[in-house]
Amino acid sequence: MSDMNTITAERAGRRESAAPRIMIVEDEPSIALMLAYNLEAAGFLVERIERGDEAELRLAEQPPDLLILDWMLPGVSGLEICRRLRARERTRTLPVIMLTARGEEKERVRGLSVGADDYIVKPFSIPEFMARVQALLRRASPGRIASKLTQGEIQLDRETRRVFRAGRELHLGPTEFRLLEYLMEKPGRVFSRAQLLDSIWGLSSEIDERTVDVHVGRLRRAIARGRQRDPLRTVRGSGYSFDETFGREGMASASAPPTT
């Protein structure tokens, strides 16, 4: 009992401070690598496991915040792992996304009937996959992922898909919205054009890197009118970032009383 309490306290402590932990159980290295790369770029802590039996041991030891589970695995099948997770108290509500090459309705129903929360058929696009992960995490633990991102006077609402600057609504296209959301999640971090292409358009897209410049340009024009400060930084030879100092001085003079 005291052991359980210790574990619970540890997990609670970590939950407040650290990024969500995602376990990928997938025996195809190229898929596992691609998913891990994109999840890590989005700020998640990722653990990769190739065998079903090995996954069971790790899951009993330390369940993640979300599990990506391939259906066909060496050792124990994903279907069986999911069934067993649901039978145990500690993992009964663990969010699970099943991956499979099978796309038949009957199989889909079978996957969901053993308790998977979501089901993705290969091949799938990375933006689609990332959206499902975020949606499931939000459903599973609201508050874990903020529904609003705020930097200075810019506020982005993921649920209503609306963006405001100083109370005025900005009208962004879907790509500009995703671009802004992505950059605002990690203020200060510089993303290369290739990284932005992978994360926002998907690895399989055959879009030219100059497309990124075009959309950043559109986003800039929508976000900073007239003499308003531009929160997006172009880092020569590297890429783009959301300026982490944006709004700090402005906020201090606009809303806080002078302290000197």
The binding site for Ca ion (CB under 5 A) comprises: 27, 70, 72
Residue nearest to Ca ion (CB): 72
* CB-nearer residue toward Ca ion: 28 or 185: 28
CA 225 to each of CA 161, 228, 229: distance values in angstroms, whole numbers, following the listed order: 20, 5, 8
User: What is the amino acid identity at position 116?
Assistant: A
**CB of 26: closest distance to Ca ion in angstroms?**
6
**CB of 68: closest distance to Ca ion in angstroms?**
12
Element (H, E) at 45: strand 45-49
Strands 45-49 and 21-25: parallel
**CB of 105: closest distance to Ca ion in angstroms?**
20
CA 176 to each of CA 11, 37, 229, 245: distance values in angstroms, whole numbers, following the listed order: 36, 22, 18, 21
d(CA 116, CA 137): 13
* CB-nearer residue toward Ca ion: 72 or 203: 72
d(CA 5, CA 136): 27
Report the candidate in 185, 193, 243 with the shortest Cα–Cα distance to residue 216: 193
**CB of 161: closest distance to Ca ion in angstroms?**
34
* CB-nearer residue toward Ca ion: 72 or 121: 72
DSSP character at residue 76? S
Does residue 98 sit in helix, strand or coil? Answer: strand
* CB-nearer residue toward Ca ion: 100 or 241: 100
**CB of 72: closest distance to Ca ion in angstroms?**
4
* CB-nearer residue toward Ca ion: 33 or 214: 33
